[in-house]
Amino acid sequence: MKEFDIIIIGGGLSGSSTALNLSKKGYSVLIIEKEASGNIKPCAGGMASSMKKYLPLDIDESIESKIRNVEFRWESSDNVVADLSGESPFWIIRREKLDRLLLDEAIKYGGEILRPVQVEKITQQNKTWIIKCNNKVTYKSKFLVIADGSQSRWAGYFNLGPRKPKFANTIALRLKGLGNIPKDSVRFEFGFVKYGFAWAFPLKDSVNIGLGTFINNKLLENKDLNNKVIKSFGFEDLSFKVVHKKLRIWNGLNKLNGDRVIAVGDAASLCDPFLAEGIRPSLMSSYFAAESIDECLSSNNNDLNNYSTNINNEWGKSMAWGKRIAQIFYRFPRTGYQLGVKRKTAPQRIAQILSGQMNYEDIAMRVIKRLLTKSKD
């Protein structure tokens, strides 16, 4: 029976970055991944460059576009453009490349990956995890990281994250060429999708297009990605292949660790419930998970509680406001667009959210302050 310091279930973005963070610290790490090789992920690849601080390596080769403008439209018109200030605060990365880079680097530092392998049973014996897999081999570890994404089987098993997970429904595709999307601009298109929006994020030679619905569990069908949406992004060819995905979104401040076990990324329900941003919390949670596990292993204790506290403080508090904003905005999108997006300072604020300079809590506090000041007048 092979023994590791840490076993990670899931080798996507959060599993690979946790593996790299930990193998760089000198720990023995095994990733167990159910898929054979890195398929194209249904992910538009938008990422705040400020997340560099949570990245354990240089990811330059996965960056395809550096974004200077964020454009918002209502049914192809009523444009609002926000200029992003500073040194390109928002990047579009090719997800399959980023995941590969992180994984390869983790392997360079001694990390191991088993694929395609499924975990069948997990038990604990004398403070050691015993993990039985479908390759008929059993592995042992001191700590366990759950990184099996939005369809996580294991987060619920260990009571990590919300008892009732909430999901956004998404459709994604990648089209060759840039259509009418400038190479340094991302576009958010409202009005075509009930309870959500459509987006177009440019790579070097193609565009990641997607639709998402965020409330009322509104399901999306291929016909929702209709001519109107595709044409609004400047494409004529309608013979595309799409991927449907249910994306687990943030749903409350919850405990994300147990005894020697931690959930990261989508498995921990960290994805932004308003804009589907999941790369940032994946990298953040991977970083804090590795820090907490390192602290435990180096001081021979098993208290991972500071992990849940850190994530809830650094991310969850903002998402609590993001969830409230989503509930109102997507229920009354026309009014939301007029009062929210078309407000003079709003696009800049949303751009600041996307680039990590501001969070939903900051915005909510400003609005509340404004209301209080007005009510005193």
Ligand X SMILES: Cc1cc2nc3c(=O)[nH]c(=O)nc-3n(C[C@H](O)[C@H](O)[C@H](O)COP(=O)(O)OP(=O)(O)OC[C@H]3O[C@@H](n4cnc5c(N)ncnc54)[C@H](O)[C@@H]3O)c2cc1C
Residue 316 found at the interface with ligand X (CB under 6 A) = no
- 11 residue type, one letter: G
> Would you mind telling me the total number of residues written for the chain in this entry?
377
Q: Does 271 bind ligand X (CB under 6 A)?
A: yes
Partners of residue 72 on adjacent β-strands: 80, 188
119 binds ligand X (CB under 6 A): yes
Please tell me the distance from the alpha carbon of residue 10 to that of residue 250, in angstroms, as a whole number: 19
DSSP annotation string for 140-182: EEEEEEE---TT-SHHHHTT-S-SS-EEEEEEEEEEES-TT--
Can residue 261 be called a binding residue for ligand X (CB under 6 A)? Answer: no
Given the complex with ligand X, which of 93 and 320 has the nearer CB atom? 93
C-alpha to C-alpha distance for 108 and 314, rounded to whole angstroms: 30
Residue with the shortest CB distance to ligand X? 278
Minimum distance from residue 355 beta carbon to ligand X (Å): 12
Per CB under 6 A, 64 contacts ligand X: no
CB 186 within 8 A of CB 201: yes
89 near ligand X, rule: CB under 6 A: no
- Which residue from 24, 45, 72, 304 is in contact with ligand X, where contact means CB under 6 A? 45
Tell me how many residues contact ligand X (CB under 6 A): 41
Task: List the one residue from 94, 245, 260, 349 that touches ligand X (CB under 6 A).
Answer: 245
Minimum separation from the CB atom of position 234 to ligand X (A): 19
Binding mask 7-36 for ligand X (x = CB under 6 A): --xxxxxxx----------------xxxx-
**How far is residue 20 from each of residues 29, 30, 43, measured CA to CA in Å?**
9, 11, 21
Interface with ligand X in residues 184-203 (CB under 6 A): 201
Q: What is the DSSP string of 307-339?
A: HHHHHIIIIIHHHHHHHHHHHHHTTSHHHHIII
With contacts defined by CB under 6 A, name the span among 54-62, 277-285, 320-328, 331-339 that binds ligand X: 277-285
Residues facing residue 38 across a β-bridge: none
Name every residue whose Cβ is closer than 8 Å to that of residue 351 and which is 6 or more positions away in sequence: 70, 82, 83, 84, 90
209 or 376: CB nearest ligand X: 209
By DSSP bridging, strand 166-176 and strand 206-213 are antiparallel
Q: Please, which residue, 50 or 302, has the CB nearer to ligand X?
A: 50
Determine, following the binding rule CB under 6 A, whether residue 118 of this chain makes contact with ligand X: yes
Return the range that interacts with ligand X (CB under 6 A); candidates 106-114, 136-144, 279-287, 327-335.
Answer: 279-287
- Using CB under 6 A, which residues numbered 126 to 185 contact ligand X? 147-150, 153, 170, 172
Question: Do the beta carbons of residue 293 and residue 304 sit within 8 Å?
Answer: yes
The residues binding ligand X (CB under 6 A) are 9-15, 32-35, 41-47, 118-119, 147-150, 153, 170, 172, 201, 210, 245, 247, 265-267, 271, 276-280, 282
